Amino acid sequence: MEVDSITSAASPLINDTFLPYRAAANYLSEILHQNNHPMPLVGIICGSGLSGLSNAMDEPKTAQISVKYSKIPAFPKHCTVEGHKGEVVFGTFAGVPTICFRGRFHSYEGYDMKTVVLPVHVMRCLCVKVLIVTNAAGGLNPNFHVGDLVCVKEHFALPHLTGMNSLMGPNDNELGPRFPSTGNTYDEHLRKTAQTTANTLNMNFFKPHGTYCFVSGPMFESKPEGRFLQQIGGDCVGMSTVPEVVAANHCGLKVLCLSLITNEVIVENDASHEKVLEAVSNRSEQIELFVREIIKGLGDTKFLETIPDLSPISLDKATAQFQKQKQEKRDKIKSRLTISFRTLVFGATCLTVGSLATTALMGKRRV
């Protein structure tokens, strides 16, 4: 029997680990169909403080569709980190249908890696072609300063090399191969488009290439750790992004990654999340315009049309199986509660009868 199969020969059921993103995608797909909204071609994952990217979507805002994470099957109810809004927004950038995840899930919050990359797998199920992922990062390169925006070309992920990897476990062959290459993870055309757009907008703080280092967090890096990452070629460092990028590459999505430098690791002694959000706030409007113009360029040049359509992912059967499993879990909990309640009542009854009998016996002895 093939371990990585969508279904097994012995059972028609879909592997349990493949159900959450299929159920979530099916739910969102139905919402889009009900509102006669086009399926997205571009996906965006917003980093800390960058949830305002959805504000750059086309007017009118009434044409947008917002869905709270708490409403989506299999999604965590909310994001626990300040600066992450916890909702999905559907709209258009310069006419290009786009899905924007306003907030991400981090492994340091206690989520497993499959949950961390859940938005990516949902986008793949919706047949998104391009992923733009953003983050706030610490600067390692001495030539990178707070406020610089780095276009990531490569990454180094020590947690991935030591077993904390979003591709571990059964492989969903509908999404991608068991052993994907990571040699061309960050699409060259997208990086060139970002460079051209930055030149047009006179963004002198744009860095056209850099290596992003992924660490688990949640603490900020010590100076020796920063020096180590710097010596192996790291330009910036953060606690997210690479799991999502690796999952997107596995799924066949074209990836553009933008890292905003919010602190200088080797120099500063007092990094904090508040300072990160402040640095992001100072660049937020420029980044919103930048991303909008990048997507506009992808539409104007017909680049999106040159990307082959990804094969559709089967959703209906998975959703039915997912809902059945949820109901079975609820029934089990209800059954356990019922048994516990009955046991409690029986125990209380026995205690009451015993107490009354003891009282009666003591009364007879007194007489």
Residue 341 lies in a domain: no
The tens digit of pLDDT for each residue in 300-326 reads 999 999 999 999 998 877 777 877 666
pLDDT computed for residue 12 by the predictor: 67
Confidence grade of residue 357 (pLDDT, cut at 50, 70, 90): low
pLDDT computed for residue 267 by the predictor: 81
Residue 359 lies in a domain: no
Cα separation, 76 vs 74, in Å, equals 7
Active site residue 108: yes
* Strand 254-264 relative to strand 149-157, pairing: antiparallel
Mean pLDDT along residues 195-203: 97
Residue of 123, 239, 247, 318 marked active site: 239
Residue 360 lies in a domain: no
More confident residue, 162 or 273: 162
Residue 4 lies in a domain: no
Active site residue 318: no
Confidence grade of residue 349 (pLDDT, cut at 50, 70, 90): confident
pLDDT computed for residue 3 by the predictor: 46
Mean pLDDT along residues 1-9: 48
Mean pLDDT along residues 115-127: 96
Cβ atoms within 10 Å of 135's Cβ, excluding its own: 27
The dihedral sign for the CA sequence 345, 351, 354, 358: negative
Active site residue 136: yes
Q: pLDDT at residue 133 above 90?
A: yes
Mean pLDDT of the chain: 87
DSSP class per residue in 22-34 = HHHHHHHHHHHHH
pLDDT computed for residue 10 by the predictor: 47
Residue 349 lies in a domain: no
Residue 86 lies in a domain: yes
Confidence grade of residue 328 (pLDDT, cut at 50, 70, 90): low
pLDDT computed for residue 277 by the predictor: 86
Question: What is the domain count for the chain?
Answer: 1
Q: pLDDT at residue 8 above 50?
A: no
Residue of 23, 56, 123, 136 marked active site: 136
Q: pLDDT at residue 55 above 60?
A: yes
Residue of 15, 54, 171, 240 marked active site: 240
Q: Among the residues of 162-306, which ranges form H helices?
A: 188-200, 223-231, 242-251, 273-300, 303-306
pLDDT computed for residue 339 by the predictor: 62
pLDDT computed for residue 9 by the predictor: 46
Residue 101 lies in a domain: yes
Residue 350 lies in a domain: no
Whole domain around residue 168: which residue ranges? Answer: 16-314
Residue of 48, 135, 259, 284 marked active site: 48
DSSP class per residue in 84-120 = ---EEEEEEETTEEEEEEES---GGGT--HHHHTHHH
Active site residue 106: yes
Query: What's the CATH number where 307 sits?
Result: 3.40.50.1580
Q: pLDDT at residue 327 above 80?
A: no
Active site residue 48: yes
pLDDT computed for residue 179 by the predictor: 95
| Element of type H or E holding 43 | strand 42-45
Structure token pair of residue 3: 């371990």
pLDDT computed for residue 366 by the predictor: 54
